[in-house]
Structure 1
Amino acid sequence: MKKILKKILIPLFSIILVTSCNKDFLNTQPLDKAAAASTWADANLSQMFVTEIYNGVHEGLLQQNSLDNQTDNCLFNFGRQDIMESAISPTNTGNVLNTMEWGEMYKRIRATNVALGNLATVTFDAATAARLKGECYFLRGYYHNQLLRYYGGIPIIKFGYSLNTTDFTIARNSYDDCVKGIISDLDSSAQLLDGKSLASGRASKAAAMSLKSRVLTYAASDLHDIPTAKQNSAVISGFSNPELLGYVSGDQNARWVAAKAASKAVLDLGGFGYNLDLTAPQSKETAITDYQNVYLGKGGGEKEAIFAKYYINAATDDWGAWFPRNNMPNGYHGWSSTEPTQNFVDSYEMMDGTKFDWTKPAEAAAPYENRDPRFYASVFYDGTPWKPRTTDGAAIDPNGELQFGTYQTGTGGGTTIPYFGLDTRNSNIENWNGTRTGYVIRKMMDPNPAIVDMNQKEEIPTMQIRFTEVVFNYIEACLETHDEPTAITWLNKIRFRAGMPAVTASGSALVDAYRNERNVEMFAEDQRFFDARRWMIAPVVFGQKVKIMVINGTLKPGKTVTTYRYSKDNYNYIYHIQEIEQGVENRSWNDKVYFPPINLDEMNKNKKLIQNPGYQ
């Protein structure tokens, strides 16, 4: 059976100093900790130490308030996002996920430095030591990059502090130096892990190479090319330390060439990717199943996972396992936490590859028909067939279909009464959890009908890096280096798997098609937050108001309904798009939000730090 790294429950080993003593009763070892000498003298204890460092990955994509809630893609149901209102500051940094939180990431970086320092002198077998070092190099690069892509240049720390250290403060490295430092670790990791077979969930050569693809793709982007960024942002232009944000000189095209080579190296590895060898679009139903298999990590979709975190329900209370409770509609006693916006839903094309158009009467009358198959695997919409309801909802909705609108019951043309859908904020089941946008996320939701109670968990892996992201990185680098034929070939591989026709655009239209494809395919995978920034389109897409869907179903004349069910035979459905009410979230954009602020506590502890632009 293939071993899988699951959620680690052991505490971080305390590194303690053991001194000699003449009194035997004082010369005892604690029962819940391992001494440093014992830890690094034993291969198993050393592996346990390194294994614990993986816990810095946390819930990843499955966090209740994910990064997509801080983009135009989604709205968080339980509170305004200060970052989307440009209301963040060093004293109010908004919702910083623990996977980008300054202190949490440096805690993990420190642990890798402790491990690497000790692994250099261990006496157990060299192969195990080399493999553990390879994992630590990857994790150090990973955690440094989590900070780099959020804050810009950060202190790159590759040494361990000791009791003899007199100065614990350190300045931020330039963006250029950060990229070089991270790539150096990833190259070391790939070399040490070459040919090693590790449990799923642990670092690998492919993971190191794929993260390198991400780092270099970001580094080549407009946001980090300071001459370009200055032209697009007065805030960046006025910053006195632009070297912290990107490259102040050099050849941006050369950086794209490097990103292209790094991505192509992963594609050439072989053994990864799922159904990306098709020559034509597959059927809608097959495409839906394949897309679900990718995020469920089964049925061949597990080949997409290059670096992922896995769960065992019985052994973890991690919030990632509670994704169904956090996100199922309120009519199932879920919390509807992540709600796709109408802005995002409109980005799904029609099945024939044309852009959805509200001005076309046929499409406006049936907005959920004939859309990109990934829509049906990613978004709960009005009338979605789902699971049997819990006992209190089953009598009201015996069909298990989502109800996001207001409908009539009674007789059309006669006496009617309004009925508020079970999954709305007027529901008689936990109305405080109802969707505000008219949608709820479906992606990453286990379709197992047995998982319907809010007290049940799921075991869906949270993919930190998947193969298709690297494919997109390669496509983008091809576009930037004027290799459109190759870009189109690989873009259509992704579209064919999704059941969508080939793209034939060129020039700026092809770039737009690529960006839309990346957002739709990688929805809710922590991509949009960074992509819109590095492309410097955030002022347009993040500054727009949240659009929501309001649905009214009116009975057709002579039709009698006592228990509501979605039916175009019985109902005329009217779809109204409107902006979300003021006060729920008042979105606006300020260029300072390209680089969020370093928390004031960190600035006070380390006087060598320079704050990001717009927060001084």
Structure 2
Amino acid sequence: MKKTIKTILIPLCAVILVTSCNKDFLNTQPLDKAAAASTWTDGALSEMFVTDIYNGIQEGTLQQNSLDNQTDNCLFNFGRQDIMESAISPSNTGGVLGTMEWGNMYSRIRAANLALENLATAPFDADMVARLKGETYFLRAYYYNQLLRYYGAIPLIKSSYVLSSPDFTIPRNTYEECVNSIVSDVDSAALLLDGKSLALGRATKAAAMALKSRVLTYAASDLHDMPTAKAKSAVINGFSNPELLGYVSGDQNARWLAAKAASKAVLDLGGIGYNLNLTAPQSKESAITDYQNVFLGKGGGEKDAIFAKWYINAATDDWGAWYPRNNMPNGYHGWSSTEPTQKFVDSYEMMDGSKFDWNNPAEAAAPYENRDPRFYASVFYDGAAWKPRTTDGAAIDPFGELQFGTYQTGTGGGTTSPYFGLDTRNSSIENWNGTRTGYVIRKMMDPNPAIVDMNQKSELPTILIRYTEVVFNYVEACLETGDEATAKEWLNKIRFRAGMPAITASGSALVDAYRNERNIEMFAEDQRFFDARRWMIAPEHFGQKVKIMVITGTLKPGKTVTTYRYSKDNYNYNYHIQEIEQGVENRSWNDKVYFPPIKLDEMNKNSKLIQNPGYN
């Protein structure tokens, strides 16, 4: 031990003696980092700094525990969602996604503030400076809106803090001030990015305008009109600072007109959007392909993605690239993380546009036939064809079909044995990852049959703003301002692309149809969590117990099966709906969950913050 110490100390002393004679030693620049001052005099370094601000997006819609798991659409396979049990508090904020988490967002906002301060005097190419400023304005607006739509009003900070700052505490601005600030940033971004050619995944003029459409649509909604919200919620009515949650004065209809104009401006841009010029429903097969292409980012579908994060597996190990492994059924060695509920599955219409009805004997006997084509591109269900199984499953299921039930093998009317499907919690393959609801998400999965290895990452994009969302925003604003004809015209453009017939309803029935259509089309895209809140329909939908599907297949008399495969010729199938077992997730709703709490650590850091209603 002593010998080792001496060996270390001798060269260390030598270093001290030698370097103490060199007064410039402490001023040596590191070889692996750029000095802060150099960053803003070099265009390439400045672009690298701005590029890093994009990383606040994180996994976007490809999170393992997506926001749809915190709605009536889905169940998360690996733990209770405290927010769905109304069990959140400042000391237990539940599963807040990183791209909405208070500290994460403010760290990116500070980086954006630094960039804007330094780009104001950057000496390199003016066109490049303008583009980088435009991107930064967009990103600051995007991250502020992530906070705004989750928490309500937040403190607006437009400059970077330095150690000499006299005070690091700041109160929350009003909701109206936050909206105005975000709109100002996206307007600046749109102006600066006009005519600019940008690499895939970077902010554009269209992205800035589309974000404005989202911001103003939310701002016009009932949850943020305080007279309306107070009338619908005792928790909000009792809050002494309603200006933090929405508008305390002004005309809600005027706000809807502003949202309508912002959305229409995007629709008038041209060159974006995908296959929305049909005059009649297209075929089921074409509709499924078109819907998949949007999320595969190919075949023209990429034009629907106004703002998206694209993965390059050679350059990153981003968690979103593991979306297939995180969500494929366990029989394919996936984790079945996001599981659609029976309530959500039932919301898919029949191909003729009628509502699915369990009281209809024909529909109840074949619940997965003749449904909205988007169902087949979004949900793994019992009997659905998928990919060849991996080696350990191929001998058990050589057909590559989903098995979510319990079936008989042997001879009907004779000797039979129970066979538990490969994709269940009684499977011979990773049964602990089996579905609890009888379904697994399929949306945003690459159907390429050659890609079955769950250790292989995906390069599919995580779409953050779609042209289709802006169409929905425009439809909603039209409905709210009494223009039903235009609302149906644009709503049916989406329907026709999806292979579904035109909606002809009016009044409240049209509003209900629109809301269901939006939920079906935008499934698993972080919409339902906010939509149900801003429409103030969450109490009637989010507090329901999760309904699941239990499937059994009984051999018909005289039919012999040794290797199971879905077959209505060989089997009678029974579809039984029941509530999920007690303790998995006991959903309930409390109006305080309209606005989740600000984390206790943040409240302790900043004495000027006012907590959201229901958490004191």
TM-score higher than 0.5:
yes
Match of residue 358 from structure 2: 358
After superposition, where does 1:498-509 map in structure 2 within 5 Å?
498-509=498-509
Report if the CA contact (8 A) 1:172-1:609 is conserved: yes
The whole-number CA distance in structure 2 between the counterparts of 1:286 and 1:162 is 56
Match of residue 445 from structure 1: 445
Match of residue 519 from structure 1: 519
Amino acid at match of 1:158: K
The whole-number CA distance in structure 1 between the counterparts of 2:31 and 2:77 is 45
Match of residue 213 from structure 1: 213
Match of residue 560 from structure 2: 560
Which secondary structure state, in structure 2, belongs to the residue aligned with residue 608 of structure 1? coil
The whole-number CA distance in structure 1 between the counterparts of 2:523 and 2:509 is 21
Match of residue 53 from structure 2: 53
The whole-number CA distance in structure 1 between the counterparts of 2:396 and 2:125 is 64
After superposition, where does 1:116-195 map in structure 2 within 5 Å?
116-195=116-195
TM-score by length of 2: 0.96
Match of residue 11 from structure 2: none
The whole-number CA distance in structure 2 between the counterparts of 1:505 and 1:447 is 35
| Deviation per residue, 1:284-318 (Å, 9 max, x gap) | 00000000001111100000010000001122111
Report if the CA contact (8 A) 1:331-1:422 is conserved: yes
After superposition, where does 1:596-615 map in structure 2 within 5 Å?
596-615=596-615
Report if the CA contact (8 A) 1:451-1:457 is conserved: no
- Which deviates more from structure 2 when the two are superposed, residues 310-319 or residues 298-307? 310-319
Amino acid at match of 1:80: R
Amino acid at match of 1:449: P
The whole-number CA distance in structure 2 between the counterparts of 1:540 and 1:189 is 39
The whole-number CA distance in structure 2 between the counterparts of 1:210 and 1:33 is 36
Amino acid at match of 1:321: A
Which secondary structure state, in structure 2, belongs to the residue aligned with residue 99 of structure 1? helix
Report if the CA contact (8 A) 1:378-1:442 is conserved: yes
Report if the CA contact (8 A) 1:207-1:306 is conserved: yes
Match of residue 570 from structure 2: 570
Match of residue 294 from structure 1: 294
The whole-number CA distance in structure 2 between the counterparts of 1:88 and 1:42 is 46
Q: 1:451 deviation in Å?
A: 1.8
Match of residue 15 from structure 1: none
Amino acid at match of 1:317: D
After superposition, where does 1:4-23 map in structure 2 within 5 Å?
23=23
The whole-number CA distance in structure 2 between the counterparts of 1:26 and 1:344 is 63
The whole-number CA distance in structure 1 between the counterparts of 2:489 and 2:329 is 39
| Deviation per residue, 1:90-137 (Å, 9 max, x gap) | 000000000100000000000000000000011111111111000000
After superposition, where does 1:453-472 map in structure 2 within 5 Å?
453-472=453-472
| Deviation per residue, 1:162-214 (Å, 9 max, x gap) | 22101011100000000000000000000011111111110111000000000
The whole-number CA distance in structure 1 between the counterparts of 2:100 and 2:458 is 24
The whole-number CA distance in structure 1 between the counterparts of 2:86 and 2:150 is 15
Report if the CA contact (8 A) 1:224-1:247 is conserved: yes
The whole-number CA distance in structure 2 between the counterparts of 1:510 and 1:86 is 31
Which secondary structure state, in structure 1, belongs to the residue aligned with residue 437 of structure 2? coil
Which secondary structure state, in structure 1, belongs to the residue aligned with residue 569 of structure 2? coil
Report if the CA contact (8 A) 1:202-1:307 is conserved: yes
Task: Give the ranges of 4+ consecutive aligned residues of structure 1 lying more than 2 Å apart after TM superposition.
Answer: none
The whole-number CA distance in structure 2 between the counterparts of 1:527 and 1:161 is 33
Q: 1:22 deviation in Å?
A: 7.5
Match of residue 96 from structure 1: 96
The whole-number CA distance in structure 1 between the counterparts of 2:562 and 2:117 is 72
Is 1:259 equivalent to 2:291 in the alignment?
no
Is 1:243 equivalent to 2:240 in the alignment?
no
The whole-number CA distance in structure 2 between the counterparts of 1:393 and 1:72 is 32
Match of residue 10 from structure 1: none
The whole-number CA distance in structure 1 between the counterparts of 2:307 and 2:30 is 35
Amino acid at match of 1:435: T
Is 1:394 equivalent to 2:372 in the alignment?
no
The whole-number CA distance in structure 2 between the counterparts of 1:428 and 1:37 is 60
Amino acid at match of 1:392: D
Match of residue 16 from structure 2: none
Q: 1:463 deviation in Å?
A: 0.5
The whole-number CA distance in structure 1 between the counterparts of 2:123 and 2:522 is 44
Is 1:114 equivalent to 2:114 in the alignment?
yes
What is the number of residues matched between the two proteins? 596
Amino acid at match of 1:77: N
The whole-number CA distance in structure 2 between the counterparts of 1:127 and 1:362 is 64
Report if the CA contact (8 A) 1:554-1:572 is conserved: yes
Match of residue 404 from structure 1: 404
Q: 1:331 deviation in Å?
A: 0.3
Amino acid at match of 2:117: G
Which secondary structure state, in structure 2, belongs to the residue aligned with residue 550 of structure 1? strand
Match of residue 6 from structure 2: none
Match of residue 17 from structure 2: none
Q: 1:446 deviation in Å?
A: 0.9
Is 1:83 equivalent to 2:104 in the alignment?
no
Amino acid at match of 1:25: F
The whole-number CA distance in structure 1 between the counterparts of 2:590 and 2:25 is 63
Amino acid at match of 1:324: P
Match of residue 529 from structure 1: 529
Amino acid at match of 2:102: W
The whole-number CA distance in structure 1 between the counterparts of 2:412 and 2:189 is 68
Amino acid at match of 2:485: P
Which secondary structure state, in structure 1, belongs to the residue aligned with residue 99 of structure 2? coil
Which secondary structure state, in structure 2, belongs to the residue aligned with residue 314 of structure 1? coil
% same residue: 86
After superposition, where does 1:317-328 map in structure 2 within 5 Å?
317-328=317-328
Match of residue 17 from structure 1: none
The whole-number CA distance in structure 2 between the counterparts of 1:510 and 1:485 is 11
Q: 1:30 deviation in Å?
A: 1.2
TM-score by length of 1: 0.96
Amino acid at match of 2:612: N
Which secondary structure state, in structure 2, belongs to the residue aligned with residue 313 of structure 1? coil
Is 1:541 equivalent to 2:541 in the alignment?
yes
Amino acid at match of 2:181: G
Larger Rg computed on CA atoms: 2
The whole-number CA distance in structure 2 between the counterparts of 1:313 and 1:123 is 35
Match of residue 341 from structure 2: 341
Match of residue 435 from structure 1: 435
Q: 1:25 deviation in Å?
A: 2.1
| Deviation per residue, 1:504-558 (Å, 9 max, x gap) | 0000000000000000000000000000000000001101111100000000000
Amino acid at match of 1:397: D
Q: 1:215 deviation in Å?
A: 0.2
The whole-number CA distance in structure 1 between the counterparts of 2:485 and 2:22 is 77
The whole-number CA distance in structure 2 between the counterparts of 1:120 and 1:314 is 35
Which secondary structure state, in structure 1, belongs to the residue aligned with residue 475 of structure 2? helix
Match of residue 8 from structure 2: none
Which secondary structure state, in structure 2, belongs to the residue aligned with residue 576 of structure 1? strand
Q: 1:33 deviation in Å?
A: 1.9
Report if the CA contact (8 A) 1:295-1:460 is conserved: yes
Match of residue 196 from structure 2: 196
Match of residue 69 from structure 2: 69
Report if the CA contact (8 A) 1:451-1:458 is conserved: no
Which secondary structure state, in structure 2, belongs to the residue aligned with residue 578 of structure 1? strand
The whole-number CA distance in structure 1 between the counterparts of 2:140 and 2:408 is 58
Amino acid at match of 1:62: L
Give ranges in structure 2 of 5+ residues lacking alignment. Answer: 1-20
Which secondary structure state, in structure 2, belongs to the residue aligned with residue 575 of structure 1? strand
Which secondary structure state, in structure 2, belongs to the residue aligned with residue 419 of structure 1? strand
Match of residue 5 from structure 1: none
Report if the CA contact (8 A) 1:220-1:252 is conserved: yes
The whole-number CA distance in structure 2 between the counterparts of 1:343 and 1:326 is 23
